């Protein structure tokens, strides 16, 4: 997993609360998509895409958390090497327990 800086542009997307960004590949190389709640305008999710336009990193700013097990924001990384059609998206925890990775912004 390399660093992903959105040199390929930042794209805004609006949609319903409680959903993830749909596109996991086929996006502009090294771009980022910022997903906003279509009703409230609140930032819900950011997704970074790698040099091949594939999802490489997610930052969740808000989603359903009925069991209150999440802190926001928190990051997820993509394990394409494990499954090319439905890559797992584990939650990130940094070396000091941090929930976000400062290499992504």
d(CA 65, CA 3) in angstroms, rounded, equals 28
Q: Which is nearer to Zn ion, 34 or 60 (CB)?
A: 60
Q: Which is nearer to Zn ion, 50 or 60 (CB)?
A: 60
Distance CA 101, CA 103 (A): 5
CA angle 64, 67, 69 (to 5 degrees): 85
* Interaction pattern, residues 11-40, with Zn ion; x per rule: CB under 5 A: ------------------------------
Q: In the range 35-94, which residues lie near Zn ion by CB under 5 A?
A: 60
């Amino acid at each position: 997993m390399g660093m992903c800086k959105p040199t390929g542009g930042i794209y805004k997307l609006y949609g319903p609360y409680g959903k993830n960004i749909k596109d996991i590949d086929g996006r502009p190389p090294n771009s980022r998509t910022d997903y906003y709640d279509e009703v409230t305008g609140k930032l819900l999710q950011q997704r970074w895409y790698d040099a091949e336009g594939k999802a490489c990193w997610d930052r969740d700013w808000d989603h359903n958390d009925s069991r209150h097990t999440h802190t926001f924001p928190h990051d997820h990384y993509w394990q394409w090497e494990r499954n090319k059609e439905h890559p797992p998206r584990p939650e990130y925890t940094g070396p000091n327990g941090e929930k976000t990775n400062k290499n992504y912004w």
